[in-house]
Copies of this chain bind each other. A is one copy, B any other.
């Protein structure tokens, strides 16, 4: 299946993505999913997260502004998601920045079966044991150390690991892909990583079977779709404000053909 055809799946199925996300990006993540053609729902109450996760097609967890109540909500939702086969995407925002965040991320990883772990190179370095001093993943110089740690983690946890940055790395424990789309403006707006996590949630939400290789394909398609849209948006943007607006417009209009034509994916 081509990368672009994953977008067609998303638009055809309009998967309901249950987001338990942070206070900074709640609106942006919802708008990103709507622009793409998916259905967002945000729900946090302990009284309903299990119900909501069970009727969703995926569960996207984001630790950006976590607190103990949200951590409990994530545990309840994840338990329900695992029971009903709903794939979970975890975005461990700020893992390594404070002990509390690192610990919260590790508890979710230890307690539940994730479909995808997505963070920046530093967060992924911390959580996979490669160390937190890993900063930046650039063309040709992606740290072998990080890649090895990601692969080992993916194998051990039967999950897909995605480290994003100027270049993005994806592994299902066997193959490792390097993705080279995107635009520097993504680093000048808040929540671009968090929105990407929600987008990955939409793409894995179209996968029916719990299969890391399919999850990896979905993640590659999601990252590439989002990043090609960002490239197109940047062409119309005068700065980070207008870029953010143009990104939603681009996600709304982008076609599978445009994605396939612009995609820069290679196996390492």
Give chain B residues whose Cβ lies under 8 Å from the Cβ of A244. 31, 241, 245, 248
Which of A22-30, A116-124, A203-211 makes up part of the contact surface? A22-30
| Contact bitstring A55-70, B, C-beta under 8 A = 1, else 0 | 1000000001111110
CB distance from A79 to the nearest CB of B (A): 16
Indicate which residue in B30, B65, B240 contacts A24 across the interface (CB closer than 8 Å).
Answer: B30
CB distance from A73 to the nearest CB of B (A): 9
A1-32 at interface with B (beta carbon < 8 Å)? 22-28, 30-31
Give chain B residues whose Cβ lies under 8 Å from the Cβ of A35. 188, 239-241
Q: Does A98 make an interface contact (CB < 8 A)?
A: yes
Q: Does A109 make an interface contact (CB < 8 A)?
A: no
Q: Does A43 make an interface contact (CB < 8 A)?
A: yes
Query: In the complex the two chains form, what is the Cα distance from A68 to B247 in whole Å?
Result: 35
Query: In the complex the two chains form, what is the Cα distance from A101 to B41 in whole Å?
Result: 13
Indicate which residue in B52, B98, B100, B241 contacts A249 across the interface (CB closer than 8 Å).
Answer: B241
Give chain B residues whose Cβ lies under 8 Å from the Cβ of A24. 26-27, 30, 42
Interface footprint category on A: 35 or more
CB distance from A194 to the nearest CB of B (A): 10
Give chain B residues whose Cβ lies under 8 Å from the Cβ of A65. 26, 42-45
Interchain residue pairs with CB less than 8 A apart (16): A31-B240, A42-B64, A43-B65, A43-B94, A43-B98, A45-B66, A45-B68, A45-B100, A47-B68, A47-B100, A51-B98, A188-B252, A238-B249, A241-B248, A242-B245, A245-B245
Chain A residues packing against B (C-beta within 8 Å): 22-28, 30-31, 34-35, 40-48, 51-52, 55, 64-69, 94, 97-101, 188-191, 238-242, 244-250, 252-253
